[in-house]
Structure 1
């Protein structure tokens, strides 16, 4: 038995998948990027006529992706402190890791979920960061 969650306040998925799915007390978030809800705008990204990235601001993308994760968590009745595992995909580890790591520390200093950060060649949209998260929700009792 599972429950699917989609948030009207989060960016629409770019494929056929939900924002999150709860199975038992675990909440699995699909990959979350920094796009803004209701548009295809990506904070800090400048594209050329062909849609290729001219420049981007990793700091703006980090703040946006963390906000999107928070929004999706809230739509499922969860919050930041429920996160237990975060996988981060960066398209440029060499240039972006230090900035991302500093901003990550600001957001995660109190709950310290497990984390894996990997560099990948490209993401499906012109973004530089994507998060895949798992949250553990409080177990409710029927007593």
Structure 2
């Protein structure tokens, strides 16, 4: 068994040779590629502080999850990439509006740079109950 690519017409589209998400058919795990704060309507980076950018990232991720018949409640692992750890508290404020206990596992790391000058990128792993598996 392989994996099934997921597309989400209302989310930002890949800028390279990858899918916005892929479901592993054997395990039912759903892997979402990293999303940056791109407005899918304009293709432009959202202006503003890391809180505004984080809200846009989660809106993009929600669209991809929805295309795969999943929600934030299905998320089991979150990887966050920040260009400055000084933004950690602002990230957590927005994060707490998305997830509730029991929280998914999470890793947050600082990176030197992100595409288009974004301040944050987030990728997810979720478990799906998709009946097509």
TM-score, normalised by the number of residues in structure 2: 0.90
CA distance in 2, matches of 1:82, 1:133: 10
Unaligned stretches of 5+ residues in structure 1: 45-55
Do 1:91 and 1:122's aligned partners in 2 also have CA atoms closer than 8 Å? yes
Please point out which of 48, 53, 59 is paired with 1:61: 53
**Structure 2 match to 1:137:** 128
CA distance in 1, matches of 2:37, 2:52: 8
CA distance in 1, matches of 2:132, 2:33: 27
* SS in structure 1 at match of 2:56: helix
1:27 aligns with 2:30: yes
Do 1:11 and 1:39's aligned partners in 2 also have CA atoms closer than 8 Å? no
Report the CA distance shift for 1:61/1:115 in structure 2 as closer, same or farther (over 3 A).
same
Unaligned stretches of 5+ residues in structure 2: none
TM-score, normalised by the number of residues in structure 1: 0.84
**Structure 2 match to 1:41:** 44
CA distance in 2, matches of 1:26, 1:10: 20
Ranges of 4+ aligned residues in structure 1 off by more than 4 Å? 139-142
**Structure 2 match to 1:18:** 19
Bigger mean CA offset, 110-119 vs 71-80: 110-119
